[in-house]
């Protein structure tokens, strides 16, 4: 055994992680159907006007506004109906003072007309006449050409996340694809002689791989592309071979073997192949965590215990990955509730303690760092600072929700 001689605080770990982040530079073009949630890599500037022609914003009648000036329900203005204009079908007629054309929402305004009277303010007259019951103001119910977007307008800025409405703006200007930053490729690998892929039967002493899937889910949720590898055994040779297979990734995450046991080889691997940035955190769960760079690629050595591994993924990996992916920081929802039962905490370590919400109170859900149900049966966690060792029942606690 090679015990931790010192650990660093969570804040110091965050500082060192922030100092290591290099936002991704690779770019690619994606079709609009794949663009939601991606980060624009360049300004998107319109080369066209939207709408491309003046159009009606209502179902009604295109008129010359001045001709309707005296219209009231008692004394309607009678106009001769020249045409019916539907969307996609420009009209060839010209509207003069005594005339009008029926027009659908979105249909091109005919020449001569400068207003639309909505159908509710009209009644049919005799023969081919329409009676206008209210005066129209010039421009009324018309979207002029370029009213939404004018040629030269920037509809999306570089660095913007492509929300549904921004994808819509790109579609409106007629672009079928958009330049985005590539998603970081994240190599994920579980280590441990005992770790077996789910779907295979267990021999004596073996367990199924949990971390590969929890880490993969986190990576996928926060803008990365998980690249899972099969589990590797606890020798420096096996780990070195596995590490070589991760070449080309933007981020490498191993789990297991990051502690201080004789078979915990991650530190040997990193010492031989990379530069260690920290090993050992004053947090619970998640103390045996290493962070390094390997040929410039950031490398997490996460604890093998599934709850420690996933808890660290939420706390350390998510902000780091999002920064690489150029996504804005994730702000989980929180709720303030009384603690339903007293919790004793490890003094000297900042604790992330999982809780369940029941009847407006937070109940302890943490079983052990090795138990995935510490997290899967919890609704969120509370943080207990290093200097506190007890949180009494009834204390108001802030729960960060999963
Ligand atoms: P380690 O961090 O290698 O000392 O492992 C700590 C504990 O986590 C041990 O009980 C391991 O069997 C278990 N463990 C390690 N890796 C995994 C994994 N990928 N999935 C589930 N449990 C694991
Ligand atoms: Mg192990």
Report the pLDDT value the prediction gives residue 346, as an integer from 0 to 100: 84
Return the pLDDT at 1. Answer: 77
Ligand 1 mutation target, pool 1, 203, 207, 311, most atoms within 8 A of CB: 207
**What is residue 277's predicted lDDT score, i.e. its pLDDT?**
97
Indicate whether residue 192 lines ligand 1 (CB < 6 A). yes
Which of 238, 304, 367 gets mutated to test ligand 1 (max ligand atoms within 8 A of its CB)? 304
With respect to CATH, is domain 55-143 assigned 3.20.20.70?
Answer: no
Q: pLDDT tens for residues 17-41?
A: 999 999 999 999 999 999 999 999 9
**Ligand 1 atom nearest to 210, measured from its CA:** 20
Cα dist from 49 to 148, 150, 174, 235, whole Å: 8, 5, 10, 63
The DSSP secondary structure of 7-40, one letter per residue, reads -B-HHHHHHHHHHH------EEEEEGGG-TT-BB
CB within 8 Å of 127: residues ≥ 6 apart: none
Q: From the alpha carbon of 212, which atom of ligand 1 is closest?
A: 19
DSSP state of 316: I
Pick the ligand that lies closest to the CA of residue 197.
1
Class level of CATH domain 10-25+183-324: alpha beta
pLDDT tens, residue by residue, 176-213: 999 999 999 999 999 999 999 999 999 999 999 999 99
257 lines ligand 1 (CB under 6 A): yes
176 lines ligand 1 (CB under 6 A): no
Could you tell me how far CA 213 lies from the centroid of its own chain? 20
- Note the pLDDT of residue 65: 98
Which residues in the chain come in under a pLDDT of 50?
Answer: none
**228 close to ligand 1 (CB < 6 Angstrom):** no
User: What residues does each domain of the chain span?
Assistant: 10-25+183-324, 27-48+161-181, 55-143, 334-401
Question: How many whole angstroms separate alpha carbon 304 and alpha carbon 215?
Answer: 12
98 C-beta closer than 6 A to ligand 1: no
CA-to-CA distance for 372 and 78, rounded, in angstroms? Answer: 77
Q: Which atom of ligand 1 is nearest to the CA of 211?
A: 19
Token match 């994920």: residue? 188
DSSP 341: S
Given 3.30.1490.190, 2.40.340.10, 3.30.565.10, 1.10.3720.10, which CATH number is that of 334-401?
Answer: 2.40.340.10
Ligand 1 touching residue 312 (CB < 6 A): no
Cα(48)–Cα(66) distance, rounded to whole angstroms? 31
């Amino acid at each position: 055994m090679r015990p931790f001689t010192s650990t660093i605080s969570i804040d110091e770990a965050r500082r060192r992680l922030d100092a290591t982040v290099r936002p991704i530079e690779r770019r690619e073009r994606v079709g609009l159907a794949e663009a939601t949630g991606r980060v624009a890599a360049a300004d998107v500037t319109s080369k066209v006007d939207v709408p491309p022609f003046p159009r009606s914003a209502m179902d009604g009648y295109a008129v010359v506004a001045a001709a309707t000036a005296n219209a009231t329900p008692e004394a309607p203005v009678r106009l001769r109906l020249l045409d019916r204009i539907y969307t996609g079908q420009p009209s060839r007629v010209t509207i003069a003072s005594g005339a009008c054309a029926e027009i659908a929402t979105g249909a091109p305004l005919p020449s001569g007309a400068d207003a639309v009277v909505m159908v509710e303010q009209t009644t049919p007259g005799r023969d081919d006449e329409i009676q206008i019951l209210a005066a129209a103001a010039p421009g009324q119910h018309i979207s002029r050409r370029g009213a939404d977007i004018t040629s030269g307008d920037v509809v999306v800025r570089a660095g913007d996340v492509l929300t549904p409405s921004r994808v819509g703006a790109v579609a409106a200007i007629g672009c079928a694809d958009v330049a985005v930053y590539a998603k970081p490729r994240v190599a994920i690998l579980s280590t441990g002689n005992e770790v077996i892929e789910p779907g295979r039967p267990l021999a004596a002493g073996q367990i199924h791989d949990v971390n590969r899937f929890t880490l993969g889910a986190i990576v996928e949720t926060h803008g990365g592309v998980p690249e899972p590898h099969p589990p590797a055994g606890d020798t420096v040779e096996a780990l070195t071979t596995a590490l070589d297979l991760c070449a080309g990734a933007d981020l490498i995450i191993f789990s297991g073997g990051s502690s201080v046991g004789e078979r915990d080889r991650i530190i040997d691997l990193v010492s031989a192949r990379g530069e260690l940035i920290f090993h050992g955190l004053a947090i619970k769960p998640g103390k045996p965590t290493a962070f390094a760079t390997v040929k410039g690629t950031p490398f997490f050595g996460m604890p093998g215990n599934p709850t420690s591994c996933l808890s660290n993924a939420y706390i350390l990996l998510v902000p780091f990955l999002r920064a690489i992916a150029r996504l804005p920081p994730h702000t989980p929802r929180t709720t303030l509730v009384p603690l339903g039962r007293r919790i004793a905490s490890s003094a000297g370590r900042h604790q992330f303690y999982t809780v369940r919400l029941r009847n407006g109170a937070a109940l302890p859900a943490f079983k052990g760092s090795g138990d995935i149900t510490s997290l899967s049966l919890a609704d969120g966690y509370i943080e207990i600072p290093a200097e506190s060792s007890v949180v009494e029942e009834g204390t108001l606690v802030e729960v960060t929700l999963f």
